[in-house]
Amino acid sequence: MRKVWLRISAMLLCLVMLSGVALGEQAQGAIDIEKIKAEYKYGEVLTFDTHARLTEENRAVEGKDGVVSSQRYEASRIGADIIAKGGNAVDAAVAAAFALGVCEPNASGLGGGGFMTYRNGETGKVVFIDFREVAPGASTEDMYPRDENGKVIGNIMARGGKAVAVPGEVAGLLYILENYGTMSRQEVLQPAIDLANEGYLVTPKANTTITDAYQLMTDYPELGKLFFDENGLPPEAGSYLKNPDLAKTLSIIAEKGAAGFYEGEVAQALVDAAAKYGGIITLEDLTNYQVSVMEPVEGTYRGYKIYSAPPPSSGGTHMIQILNILENFDVGSMKPYSAEHMHLLSEAFKMVYLDRATYMGDPNYVKVPLKGLIDKDYAKLLAGKIEADKSKSYEVEDPWLYEGTDTSHLSVSDKDGNMIGITKTINYYYGSGVAVDGYGFILNNQMDDFSSKPGGPNSVQPGKKPLSSMSPTIILREDGSPYMVLGAPGGYTIFAQVAQVISDVIDFKMPLKDAVKAPRIFNWIDNTLEYQDGFGIPIEQAEVDKLTVIGHDMSHYMDGAFGFIQGTLYNEDGTIDGCADYYSDGVAVGY
């Protein structure tokens, strides 16, 4: 009876939190901040107060030798410590990325994948590393049963074994370390191993994600084992979670490299875990996984050089497309987040997301009009359709005439001009729900990023990569010198958010910390304009009313933030600014 009552209590707790009661009003409102600072290895910097409210302090930093900005202080601190020990930005980024998989496991980890954009400080060359997950070899377009209306029955694309694509994170992080880093696997992975063994802090945000996932963790007990306390309940904010199984897996990877994950005991356990819940991944799928090294998509914005993610991510292409449209307007003369400014962004977003839905997919399987989409004349054509006093619906244009894609992000820069942005994910919070028992990590549900309709540019095919919006982005000054590294989680809103921050910095001359703190908007292809207040900076109601008058369906986004920007910026004097999103647990740390 006690176990039944505890489960009922946890479900009631989940319902209370989902009902909109403020986090600070829960029992966790009495967090002992001083105790955490005294006992926790990384307790010197916290992002919340005793009432579990997010705070403004500690988000931004200035560094001389390097800066790491990520979604957890532990990861940023670990990365900065690597720089302090003589490592470069790549060493720091890989260390921070593995640490994020420990302390922010709801969003990314060994069972996921992602993208990174890297500038070599010595040569100035920018490369793009694709370690996105791929569909298993046994995948087919009709593998998910559909009803008479063509809709997939149930949640099979998002949860369980058939939602799992072949992970790429381990291969990608080790590739960048081995080719561009200076330190050994053991040196770089040891901090993450220690964090998993010793335990990481459960922040109020982490508590909320675990509580919200209570039913998922009950349905997938191997997942619940990683997070529930001894009473079978979500751990309280201010407590700690250890993951010795993950520490064991990380130690195997440190010793054996990628083979320690894609072959042997870990690989077999991964295949077995997916198969238990209907998965089709095989050992051959794992051994066949390959990282792709590609040219980044390139563009310019008011003289600055932009490098970002090419397909199969839609992010870099469409971010550049948004900036190309904005370049046709005197954005700097507008009042930031006035009706005039938000209307322009909204109309640009609608046209760009229409192009995304029409043309984007894995270029190994479909033809993508990449050059056309980022062509300045094509952007001028789209810009000419925007009317200053009317919210419109748009018809798709033909970019082929101009020929001639929940998540963690971290940005790292060092004094030598090495710049790296890594965006990585297991897709939904806690991915597929399938955890690899005895090895401490969660498998992605990246198959849900495919379209369920056969024959489309983003339909399921074996070995194919699903469309993404991840946009790790590097910006250089006109003379080629380093300027910014930016990126964010946020699903299909990512590139719209990154484009806004870039514009805020370049057009409005905002310091990085102010651009990260500023309001943001989002618009898909319809007329629903969602607006998010900045951190302590509300959008004026008078401006919202003006947009309603000209036809926008205004929606105030109150559920946190669209995405969490992490960025670094080189100042003229050689120092480096870093800032982590104020709506997240993120912190930037400099050395």
Per-residue pLDDT of 505-533, as tens digits, reads 999 999 999 999 999 999 999 999 999 99
How much is the pLDDT for 359?
85
Nearest to 191 by CA among 98, 70, 71, 111: 98
Task: Give the integer Cα–Cα distance in Å for 439 and 120.
Answer: 34
Domains and CATH numbers, the chain: 294-408+469-590 (3.60.20.40)
Asked if pLDDT for residue 465 goes beyond 90, the answer is no
Which residue in this structure is represented by tokens 């529930």? 228
Asked if pLDDT for residue 473 goes beyond 70, the answer is yes
Percentage helix, strand, coil for the chain under 3-state DSSP, each rounded to 5: 40, 20, 40
Instruction: State both tokens at 317.
Output: 């292409």
* Confidence label for 29 from pLDDT (cuts 50, 70 and 90): low
Angle made by CA atoms 47, 51, 54, in degrees to the nearest 5: 30
How much is the pLDDT for 27?
43
How much is the pLDDT for 423?
92
pLDDT in tens, 363-392: 777 788 889 999 999 999 999 999 999 998
**Contacts of 7 by beta carbon, 8 Å cutoff, 6+ apart:** 218, 232
Which residue in this structure is represented by tokens 């990154």? 498
Residues of the chain with pLDDT > 70, as a percent, come to 94
Catalytic (active-site) positions = 407
CA dihedral angle for residue 577, residue 578, residue 583, residue 586, rounded to 10 degrees: -160
Q: How many residues does the chain have?
A: 591
CA torsion sign for 156, 162, 168, 170 is: positive
How far is residue 468 CA from its own chain's centroid?
Answer: 10
CA torsion sign for 108, 109, 112, 117 is: positive
Nearest to 405 by CA among 340, 519, 482, 491: 491
Task: Give the integer Cα–Cα distance in Å for 90 and 300.
Answer: 25
Question: With b meaning 16 or more CB within 10 Å and e meaning fewer, what string describes 13-29?
Answer: bbeebeeeeebbebebb
Task: Give the integer Cα–Cα distance in Å for 159 and 555.
Answer: 29
pTM for the full model?
0.90
Task: Give the integer Cα–Cα distance in Å for 231 and 50.
Answer: 24
Task: Give the integer Cα–Cα distance in Å for 345 and 508.
Answer: 14
Residue 446 carries which DSSP code? G
Nearest to 488 by CA among 588, 428, 589, 410: 410
> What HEC string does 491-551 produce?
HHHHHHHHHHHHHHHHHCCCCHHHHHHCCEEEECCCCEEEEECECCECCCHHHHHHHHHCC
- Residues paired with residue 522 on neighbouring β-strands, in sequence order: 530
